[in-house]
Every structure is written in C-alpha cells, then in structure tokens.
Chain A
Amino acid sequence: GAVVSQHPSRVICKSGTSVKIECRSLDFQATTMFWYRQFPKQSLMLMATSNEGSKATYEQGVEKDKFLINHASLTLSTLTVTSAHPEDSSFYICSARVLAGDRYEQYFGPGTRLTVT
C-alpha cells in the first residue's frame, strides 16, 4: 500500500507556543489529505480536509485560525497548532487519499502525539 509519513512523532510544547506537524505522501501524489484528532479511548475525529492548492475545509467546531492547514504540494500538507493550550494535547493523524485504479483508498500516517504543558 501507499506510504504516508508524519513528523514529528512526538512533541511537547509550552502553552502559548505554536507547533507544526508535517504529513508527506512518500510514493504517490495526494490531491486530498485529511487531518484527524483522536483523544484517548475515543474514535477518530475529522478536523479538516485539505486539497492541494486550495483552502482547507474545516469540520464544524474546529477553529480554522487555531489549526492552520497548508497543502502546498501534492506530497506535503502541514498542520500548525497555534497558541497551543493543554486541551489541545491529543494524537493528531494525517491521512492521504489516492485513486487506485477505479476506486479511492485512504492511508494513514503514523500520527503525532502532542503534549502541551
């Protein structure tokens, strides 16, 4: 299957600072990438859908000014958590959608565990 990488895998930051998370599709071009957040023992929550070259589409309740998404190329999307607070501590996972033949498949990065102190 397709490979998606994510960096960093873990990050600890202080309240009020910003953190950037990178998501890369390594062996394919992804026109659409997704950012998810997952709190312990809860299901994946879609934060936003990112299309290359255009603005991200945010899910209801997700602050676009706080979670900045940039999808500048077909292989890279970034999520910046601005002015982070302890409640932003979570597992952030990116996913890339790829057209495989006549169907879409979706693959996940390994995730980034963010801890805000």
Chain B
Amino acid sequence: GQNIDQPTEMTATEGAIVQINCTYQTSGFNGLFWYQQHAGEAPTFLSYNVLDGLEEKGRFSSFLSRSKGYSYLLLKELQMKDSASYLCAVMDSNYQLIWGAGTKLIIKP
C-alpha cells in the first residue's frame, strides 16, 4: 500500500529552527510537495522536490532523498505566523497526490 508518515505535532520557539520529517512508500514517484495549511484555510504550496538534494526558498528549505524515501522541511528564523499544519504529499505514478496526515507546528514566544 501507499504510506506517508510525518510527526503529528511539533513545538518550537520563535526565532529558532525546526525540521519536519516525512517518509514515504508509494507506487511510483513524480515529486514530493510540502504545503502549509493554517486552521480553517486551504493548503498553500511551499515547495516541490523531484531530484535528490536541498531546495532553498527564503526561510524555508526542503530536502529529498529518493533512495531513502525521505524528505524534510526546514524552517528557519521561526515566526509566530509559522504556526500551522505542514502537509507532505507525494505524486505517484498516476500523478495523483498521496497525502500525509500533516504535522501541526506550534510556535512559542
């Protein structure tokens, strides 16, 4: 079966760095996406990785290792507005997104 695992909840301090991990087992791989979702809102696109390595975009970076079925989202210089759920999703061989359950990130002052 297809499976995406990520921690349910994480807590971090404002100004710090946090890494949210995601492991996956899917039928085929056409890229891994990270989305941010604030409570009561739809997800917004953060990043896309299809090749191994690190993609940096401002305070957010995303890493992928296809051989290990592993990705992480790295958030630097955390701000209170970063409190949200972070969803990991893998596009499978049929170009369908397989979703993780999301990681709720709580930022404390």
Query: Is the CB–CB distance between B41 and A43 below 8 Å?
Result: no
Q: How far is the CB of A2 from chain B (nearest CB, A)?
A: 9
A100-112 vs B: 1/0 string, CB under 8 Å? 0001111111110
Task: Tell me whether A77 is interfacial, beta carbon within 8 Å.
Answer: no
Q: How far is the CB of B3 from chain A (nearest CB, A)?
A: 13
Residues of A within 8 A of B31 (CB): 103-104
B37-77 vs A: 1/0 string, CB under 8 Å? 00011111100101000000000000000000000000000
Q: How many residues of B contact A (CB 8 A)?
A: 21
Q: How many residues of A contact B (CB 8 A)?
A: 21
Task: Tell me whether B96 is interfacial, beta carbon within 8 Å.
Answer: yes
Task: Tell me whether A30 is interfacial, beta carbon within 8 Å.
Answer: no
Residues of A within 8 A of B41 (CB): 110-111
Given contacts A109-B42, A110-B42, contact A44 B48 (CB under 8 A): no
A residues in contact (CB < 8 Å) with B = 1, 6, 32, 34, 43-44, 46, 49, 91, 93, 97, 103-111, 113
A108's partner among B44, B95, B100 (CB-CB below 8 A) is B44
Query: Is the CB–CB distance between B48 and A108 below 8 Å?
Result: no
Q: How far is the CB of A26 from chain B (nearest CB, A)?
A: 15
A43's partner among B33, B45, B91, B101 (CB-CB below 8 A) is B101
